[in-house]
Amino acid sequence: MAGFSPRKLSFSIIFLGLMTVLRSQAALDVHYYDRACPEAEKIIRYTILNASMHDAKVPARILRMFFHDCFIRGCDASVLLDSTPQNQAEKDGPPNISLRAFYVIDDAKTKLESACPKTVSCADIVAIAARDVVAMSGGPFWNVLKGRKDGRISKASETINLPAPTFNVSTLIQSFTKRGLGVKDLVALSGGHTLGFSHCSSFQARLHNFSSVHDIDPTMNPEFAETLKKKCPKPNKNGNAGQFLDSTASTFDNNYYKQLLAGKGVFGSDQALYGDYRTKWIVESFANDQSLFFKEFATSMVKLGNVGVMENGEVRLNCRVVNLGLEKKRENERE
């Protein structure tokens, strides 16, 4: 009988892990809809562009929606499902209550169902839309791998697993590692904050009674902190008050990283990236070279889009309802 070999076991684990990654990637294909729905990306692009012309906040909201979807059950459009009397869905979990622009995905889905019924998944719509809002905001363009299926499960309780704006670097690394993403992916994808706005509730703890020693987070630029304190007084009676996450918030650029170098990161989790040796050098690299940031961001977005790819899901006819639920809803309406 052959003896136990740790070396063989290690090789087997690596091999199985590699096969899992390959199967995940094999399920997706840049040309997935070339024959079944050749106009799919064009339809999504024009829908996103039209919505963005009417509401300048759409790009940031769509990009955030993609992150929040992929970080829970993988990129399966579970964040789009509405709550039911029997289940509170992800979109109603505390970190997602501020998510917006679901109507844009609904609009794209309606047009796609008219052009090529039962073909394009809601998960692929979100992935393509995220790429398009980055590109139309001045950021990089990449080929989106397609062929995702839509999930049937969405639980608000699972949103506790989303990275929080109060996380330190160690906690952030753990969160990203669980999704197969490395330290460089963490720093690159955090650059998505170059588009966006945050309400005071996500960062005001840094401005008032931060610790027993400091009233204000000492990693924050003092002048910047005073500016934020005026916008977010204590108590804050304006629920709409907040701050753009970088000074060029409608343009996808590397200004976010330059702000971190100046101590002007809005979230504690953002500023922490510049205060930790594991991430500081990457922040500096991206701040000094926008083309490098664009390249790494696109690479990391493709990796994030591969997280939790479903092979046994469905193509929802309505992004807000699983197909079985939609059928029951229509039956009730007929009755």
Positions marked active-site = 68
Q: Which tokens belong to 128?
A: 């393509």
Does residue 78 have a known ligand-binding role? yes
Does residue 150 have a known ligand-binding role? no
Query: Cα(125)–Cα(148) distance, rounded to whole angstroms?
Result: 10
Q: Which residue has the tokens 């200004």?
A: 255
Task: Report CA torsion sign: 144, 148, 154, 158.
Answer: negative
Burial of 34 (0-12, 13-18, 19+ CB in 10 A): exposed
Does residue 74 have a known ligand-binding role? yes
Query: Cα(330)–Cα(181) distance, rounded to whole angstroms?
Result: 41
Does residue 193 have a known ligand-binding role? yes
Does residue 10 have a known ligand-binding role? no
Does residue 248 have a known ligand-binding role? yes
Does residue 29 have a known ligand-binding role? no
Query: Cα(215)–Cα(246) distance, rounded to whole angstroms?
Result: 23
Does residue 138 have a known ligand-binding role? no
Does residue 194 have a known ligand-binding role? yes
Annotated binding site: 69, 74, 76, 78, 90, 163, 193-194, 248, 253
Annotated binding site for substrate: 163
Annotated binding site for Ca(2+): 69, 74, 76, 78, 90, 194, 248, 253
Annotated binding site for heme b: 193
